[in-house]
Structure 1
Amino acid sequence: MTANLLDDLNFATVCRVAFSGFLRLGEFTYKTEDLSTRSIFSATKLTRSDVRFSSSLDHAQLTLKRSKTDRRHEGVQIIPARTGDGACPVDALQKLLLLDPREPNAPLFSFHRKPFSRKSFPSTLSIKLRALGIRADGYSGHSFRKGAAQHAHDSGILDDQIQMLERWTSEAFRVYFTTNASVLYKLNHQFQTSSPAPLSLVVLPPSPLSS
């Protein structure tokens, strides 16, 4: 595959994983200088070795070694469920690892000609949206997490369950440290397979003439 196609593959995969996993922008992006010391990068950022698949391939498991609400640095497990549709994060991860193989300590996601940073990723997102005829000014790198929360709410998932999936903190909920992976899988599967399917439809904004 060409570098451009591999960049598209990485971008498409991270969109599916970021949405299904309620990921924060800083959890899947990084600075170019972060790569200067691979041992530190591997200990703090998402790498290829942080991806696992269940024996039945009904879900994947991502280990976030550092995240905003993991104050103890114990690591957080993200459990994207297989959905079997075009937006399936598990299928996307398998395809990425197959077609863009890298060493275990390499970044999970990367662009070949520019850094996969907090600046370059939103810029690429804007370019992709405009190519689809969608105004990009209402979107950012945080739109996946915000959109996931809204979709979960619209799907009838309870507030405390959304809090569990999105890893929010409060005095009452610290479940992301202790929740069993099977519970996260069931909730994530419910979240992704409800109707309408996440990421399956693109809704264009109304044209000025229609208002």
Structure 2
Amino acid sequence: MAEDTWLIAGLGNPGTRYRHTRHNIGHMVLDELLERMGATYTRTKVGAKAVGARLAHGGPKVIFAISEGYMNHSGKPVRGLMDYFSVDPAHLVVVHDELDIDFGRLKLKRGGSEGGHNGLKSITQHLGGNRDYLRVRAGIGRPPGQMETADYVLQGFSEAERKELPGFIDRTADAVELLLTEGLTAAQNKVH
């Protein structure tokens, strides 16, 4: 195993139809991280777009990736990249939308349940049931009224949320960097 290699997987759905939806916040955060580094994705043979980089001089090697398939099938490309780059599950960071956290807030954690998130379920399944990976949980809040969850996550952000979204994406990208450079506990103390 390449001891200092990390895989950052941003969850979302492909295509312009889903690009600016709540479910694609993981893609948005990875796009921000790549923009900061001046990097661009390349296609892989495992159904993902990925790029390798270092966060800073002497920092850890990081593979940034987004699946080219749908959210519910995120596990196969994530596992393919982990196998190809010899990434241990403890060095996997998944950036995803989180219904149980208010919009604009984020939480960092290792392991735990998938909370009904199909992208996380797929990853856990392809890791043989191993849940011991890191999650950057970007809050999108609960759907209003009687709206179905599936409809809500596949909708665009409200007008008020769109105004706050760039700052939220920026803070979430900062949290990913903190997680890699300072570790989970230190990052949690600064983010929570």
Normalising by the residue count of structure 1, what TM-score does the alignment of the two structures yield?
0.29
Quick check: which one's strand share is greater?
A: 2
Question: Which one has a bigger Cα radius of gyration?
Answer: 1
Normalising by the residue count of structure 2, what TM-score does the alignment of the two structures yield?
0.31
